[in-house]
């Protein structure tokens, strides 16, 4: 498929979307980048700066204060958001195409899994908003209270490139449902689907100024949004390093509410009591190697009981063959490229460090066709290393899993918790007591027992420690995009 041609034919919009109109950045600058699929030039998306962000915030603020969206009924907002979900469904192919074009992830994976998940998440928030209640403090004769959940106002959403439509839907879904005005700053590596989505929001009936997209670099557009005094909440998904900066920007400006979904190095524990070791290796591969391992919650730190180790390694080497990367636009392939040459080099460096440190480094052996300049990395298993080594502790964000040995279940728990991160993890065991004992002890926001990654929209998602604060998904997400306001009533006798 000639993608460049199809993108041109589809007249894909590359400008910012502010106050209901597509506009160039004021200084007309564009984002410069090349494709990780074939090295071709992908430059052209508007590169917004502080001046553009200021205009978007002003429009969002005016829209919020006018009540054109913020004061509409829950039923109205539900109907419009369901309409938006239907339009996304209708344009599923385009959304998948744009995300593949920019990020190199397999089209099949976007079309069959990621875009449907984003639509499902939006539908969940739309359907839930009229089931989300305020509460009251029971009255006595003269006094009672009402605790209301009120929208924040203008909220900024900053998203990463690894799953553009899902991560943004987890944020603009509850934010819009609550009545906020939104400014979305997508990652510079993957902005086209967000820009396209903006056009769909208009068609769905979201009023001008309520949903805005300001593409641009993090240090310019992202920083300006996070520092803006009229932005009342900043909700970020990305690296822990940038997450910490976001907290600083909030403190330096107006103490805006902060939500952070950051990195991870998910512990995946397989104990002596696990009877189905093969299944544990299969589920690990399914969650570790799709999208070339560029998944925040990837179970990238496996901790296996000594007496199950050989059996597990044998099974994992077989399972990882199902995730050999190839041309992302080939419908046969479930795995494409990593997002950029820069990311490719970073991952390769980690693998080289493994080799030079004397660790056991194994790579899948299969081959699939792809362009000679494609940034593809085969599933890689690193073992025989120290649990405290850099490779075992840092987030690689690539198809590289580290396997460590544990002497006992206590040892596995202590290795699991010896980490700056705490996003998601798993315990594989056939001992029910051990399953809950470990689940209670491991420091993560989401712990799977004998499974991984199958939590649905009802389950909150977000980490502890340097994996972030606050939650995406579930009814709890509405709490993030609102404030509690208490109204105390005195009744005259």
Is the Cβ–Cβ distance between 264 and 297 less than 8 Å? yes
- Which 367-396 positions form the footprint of ligand NAD (CB under 6 A)? 395
Stretch that binds ligand NAD, among 128-136, 159-167, 328-336, 375-383 (CB under 6 A): 159-167
Q: Which of 164, 179 has the CB closer to ligand NAD?
A: 164
Pick one of 121, 152, 187, 204: the residue that binds ligand NAD (CB under 6 A). 187
416 near ligand NAD, judged by CB under 6 A: no
For residues 112 and 394, which CB has a smaller minimum distance to ligand NAD in the complex? Answer: 394
> Of 70-78, 161-169, 201-209, 371-379, which part binds ligand NAD (CB under 6 A)?
161-169
- Asked if 269 is part of the footprint of ligand NAD (rule: CB under 6 A), the reply reads no
Residues designated as active site: 261, 296
Nearest distance from C-beta of residue 177 to ligand NAD, angstroms? 19
Does residue 193 belong to the site contacting ligand NAD (CB under 6 A)? no
Mark the segment that binds ligand NAD (CB under 6 A) among 152-160, 277-285, 321-329, 372-380.
Answer: 152-160
User: Is residue 222 a contact point for ligand NAD (CB under 6 A)?
Assistant: yes
Q: Does 158 bind ligand NAD (CB under 6 A)?
A: yes
Residue 152 or 446 with smaller CB distance to ligand NAD: 446
Please report where in the chains the tokens 């899994």 appear, as a residue: 113
Instruction: Using CB under 6 A, pick the residue from 397, 428, 452, 481 that binds ligand NAD.
Output: 397
Nearest distance, CB of residue 236 and ligand NAD, angstroms? 6
The residue (of 179 and 445) whose beta carbon lies closer to ligand NAD is 445
Burial of 326 (0-12, 13-18, 19+ CB in 10 A): buried
- Write the binding mask 51 to 90 for ligand NAD: x where contact by CB under 6 A, - elsewhere: ----------------------------------------
**Contact flag: residue 278 with ligand NAD (CB under 6 A):** no
Least separation in angstroms between CB 235 and ligand NAD: 11
Instruction: For residue 425, state whether it binds ligand NAD (rule: CB under 6 A).
Output: no
Q: Which of 104, 151, 153, 160 binds ligand NAD (CB under 6 A)?
A: 160
Under the binding rule (CB under 6 A), the answer on residue 259 touching ligand NAD is no
Which one of residues 52, 208, 261, 319 is an interface residue with ligand NAD (CB under 6 A)?
261
Mark the segment that binds ligand NAD (CB under 6 A) among 213-221, 330-338, 367-375, 432-440.
213-221
Q: Which residue has the tokens 């919020």?
A: 64
Binding residue for ligand NAD, selected from 37, 80, 184, 242, defined by CB under 6 A: 242
Residue 83 or 245 having the CB closest to ligand NAD: 245
User: SS in 3 state form for the chain?
Assistant: CCHHHHHHHCCCCCCEEECCEEECCCCCCECCCECCCCCCECCCCECCCHHHHHHHHHHHHHHHHHCCCCCCCHHHHHHHHHHHHHHHHHCHHHHHHHHHHHHCCCHHHHHHHHHHHHHHHHHHHHHHHHHCCCEEECCCCCEEEEEEEEECCEEEEECCCCCHHHHHHHHHHHHHHCCCEEEEECCCCCCHHHHHHHHHHHHHCCCCCCEEECCCCHHHHHHHHHHCCCCCEEEEECCHHHHHHHHHHHHHCCCCEEEEECCCCCEEEECCCCCCHHHHHHHHHHHHCHHHHCCCCCCCEEEEEHHHHHHHHHHHHHHHHHHCCCCCCCCCCCCCCCCCHHHHHHHHHHHHHHHHCCCEEEECCCCCCCCCCCCCCCCEEEECCCCCCHHHHCCCCCCEEEEEEECCHHHHHHHHHCCCCCCEEEEECCCHHHHHHHHHHCCCCEEEECCCCCCCCCCCECCCHHHEECCECCCHHHHHCEEEEEEEEECCC
By CB under 6 A, residue 237 contacts ligand NAD: yes
Q: Which residues bind ligand NAD (CB under 6 A)?
A: 158-162, 167, 185, 187-188, 217-219, 222-223, 226, 237-239, 242, 245, 261-264, 296, 395, 397, 423, 468
């Amino acid at each position: 498929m000639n993608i460049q041609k199809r993108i041109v034919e589809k007249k894909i919009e590359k400008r910012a979307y502010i106050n209901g109109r597509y506009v160039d950045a004021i200084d007309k600058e564009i984002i410069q980048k090349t494709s990780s699929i074939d090295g071709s030039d992908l430059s052209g998306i508007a590169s917004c700066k502080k001046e553009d962000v200021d205009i978007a915030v002003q429009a969002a603020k005016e829209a919020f204060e006018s009540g054109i969206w913020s004061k509409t009924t829950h039923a109205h907002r539900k109907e419009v958001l369901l309409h938006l979900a239907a339009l996304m469904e209708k344009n599923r192919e385009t959304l998948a195409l744009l995300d593949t074009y920019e990020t190199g992830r397999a089209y099949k994976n976007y079309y069959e899994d990621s875009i449907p998940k984003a639509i499902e998440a939006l539908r969940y928030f739309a359907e839930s908003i009229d089931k989300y209640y305020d509460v009251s403090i029971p009255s006595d004769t003269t006094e009672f209270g009402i605790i209301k959940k009120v929208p924040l106002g203008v909220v900024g959403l900053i998203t990463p490139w690894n799953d553009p439509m899902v991560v943004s839907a987890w944020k603009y879904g509850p934010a819009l449902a609550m009545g906020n005005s939104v400014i979305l700053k997508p990652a510079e590596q993957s902005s086209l689907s967000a820009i396209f989505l903006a056009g769909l929001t208009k068609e769905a009936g979201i009023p001008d100024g309520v949903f805005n997209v300001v593409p641009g670099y993090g240090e310019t557009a992202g920083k300006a949004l996070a520092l803006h005094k009229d932005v009342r909440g900043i909700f970020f998904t990305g690296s822990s390093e940038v997450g910490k900066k976001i907290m600083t920007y909030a403190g330096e400006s107006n103490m805006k509410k902060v939500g952070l979904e950051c990195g991870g190095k998910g512990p995946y524990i397989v104990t002596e009591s696990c009877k189905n070791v093969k299944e544990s290796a299969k589920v690990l591969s399914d969650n570790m190697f799709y999208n070339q391992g560029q998944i925040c919650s990837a179970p990238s730190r496996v901790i296996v009981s000594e007496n199950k180790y050989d059996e597990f390694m044998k099974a994992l080497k077989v399972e990882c063959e199902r995730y050999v990367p190839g041309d992302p636009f080939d419908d046969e392939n479930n795995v494409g490229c990593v997002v950029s040459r820069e990311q490719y080099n970073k991952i390769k460096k980690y693998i080289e460090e493994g080799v030079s440190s004397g660790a056991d480094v194994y790579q899948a052996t299969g081959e699939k066709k792809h362009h000679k300049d494609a940034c593809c990395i085969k599933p890689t298993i690193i073992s025989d290393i120290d649990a405290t080594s850099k490779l075992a502790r840092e987030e690689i964000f690539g198809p590289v899993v580290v396997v460590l040995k544990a002497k006992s279940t206590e040892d596995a728990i202590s290795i699991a918790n010896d980490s700056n991160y705490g996003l998601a993890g798993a315990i594989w065991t056939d001992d029910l007591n051990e399953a809950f004992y470990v689940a209670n002890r491991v420091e993560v926001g989401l712990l799977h027992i004998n499974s991984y990654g199958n939590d649905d929209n009802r389950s909150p998602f977000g980490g502890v420690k340097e994996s972030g604060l606050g939650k995406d998904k579930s009814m709890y997400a509405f709490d993030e995009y609102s404030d509690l306001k208490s109204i105390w009533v005195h009744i005259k006798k």
